[in-house]
């Protein structure tokens, strides 16, 4: 992965993406001679068969009455910074979170992550942020309804000084995002929060994940998609592994992985871009197979 150090950025709002970093991210995503890596046509089928075997073994000891085992990157790749993590979003009611909507109490890390991801979606879909990034994010979260209710209630319950600290922190992330997020032409088919669910073992195991941003259209027999992940400050190696996990899910969904992935870190302004390789997918499938074997052994 090509790692790029953060560069100084000055917050000016409203402001359209177009700073050097955003252009560089786009250039790296589009870089190369136009040729896209071709993967073995049997790769997706082989990976699925491997995981199907592991999934059937895992559920064989759970009993016929057990509900589906719904798994996401938080459980499969390990927690970060407590029960709701710091980099990946965990929505209230998400089985990966383990909390019902009414019971969920978001941590400060989760609140920041949800706010920053709302700004990220606005930059991709609209192209600019307003004068107050926190207000922009709150408007977006209100539009989501009860799915963001616990986060909104937390922010609305903050004291003046605490809300001021949050606003300053959000502005820091916002100016990094404005510099990092490239302006994407409609022809790239950018789509945010692209959800993937891959059923295994007849639906008794479900692998889930969410692409922060997926661009491009699937092309039969050829890797043609680019995926961008947004981290608000989680450990870089784990965030990178989360992208490899999502690349595996896309391989199982469409038959081909994304050809290139990028990780943007809004807290620092750094980013990395890399091509997806077969060994990334095999290593992740091996990890998931071992994880599922552990489920069967513990039941």
Give me the pLDDT at residue 3, please. 55
Per-residue pLDDT of the chain (299 residues; tens, 9 = 90+): 655 555 433 222 222 334 456 778 877 877 655 566 677 878 999 999 999 999 999 998 877 777 899 999 989 997 433 333 333 444 433 444 433 344 467 888 999 999 999 999 999 999 899 999 999 999 999 998 877 889 999 999 999 999 999 999 999 999 999 999 988 888 889 999 999 999 999 999 999 999 999 998 877 777 788 999 999 987 889 999 999 999 999 999 999 899 899 999 999 999 999 999 999 999 999 999 999 998 755 65
Q: Mapping DSSP to helix (H, G, I), strand (E, B) and coil, where does residue 145 land?
A: helix
Closest CA to 27 of 247, 233, 271: 271
- State how far Cα 113 lies from the chain centre: 11
d(CA 257, CA 246): 9
Give me the pLDDT at residue 78, please. 76
Q: Using an 8 Å Cβ cutoff, are 139 and 118 in contact?
A: no
């Amino acid at each position: 992965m090509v790692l790029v150090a953060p560069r100084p950025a000055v917050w000016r709002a409203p402001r359209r993406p177009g700073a050097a970093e955003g252009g560089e991210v786009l250039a790296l995503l589009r870089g190369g001679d136009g040729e896209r890596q071709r993967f073995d046509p049997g790769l997706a089928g082989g990976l699925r068969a491997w995981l199907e075997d592991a999934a059937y073994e895992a559920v064989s000891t759970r009993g016929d009455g057990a509900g589906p085992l719904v798994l996401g990157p938080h459980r499969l790749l390990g927690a970060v910074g407590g029960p709701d993590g710091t980099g990946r979003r965990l929505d209230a009611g998400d089985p990966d979170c383990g909390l019902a909507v009414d019971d969920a109490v978001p941590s400060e890390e989760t609140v920041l992550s949800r706010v920053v991801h709302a700004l990220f979606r606005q930059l991709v879909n609209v192209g600019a942020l307003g004068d107050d990034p926190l207000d922009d994010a709150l408007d977006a979260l209100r539009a989501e309804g009860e799915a963001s209710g616990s986060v909104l209630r937390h922010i609305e319950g903050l004291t003046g000084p605490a809300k001021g600290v949050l606003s300053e922190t959000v502005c820091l992330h916002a100016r990094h995002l404005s510099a990092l997020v490239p302006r994407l032409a409609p022809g790239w088919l950018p789509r945010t929060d692209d959800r993937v669910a891959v059923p295994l073992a007849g639906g008794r195991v479900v692998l889930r994940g969410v692409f922060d941003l997926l661009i491009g259209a699937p092309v039969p027999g050829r890797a043609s998609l680019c995926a961008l992940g947004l981290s608000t400050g989680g450990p870089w190696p784990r965030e990178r592994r989360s992208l490899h996990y999502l690349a595996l899910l896309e391989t199982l969904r469409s038959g081909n992985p994304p050809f290139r992935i990028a990780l943007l870190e809004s807290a620092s302004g750094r980013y990395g871009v890399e091509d997806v390789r077969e060994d990334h997918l095999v290593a992740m499938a091996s990890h998931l197979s071992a994880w599922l074997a552990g489920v069967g052994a513990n039941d």
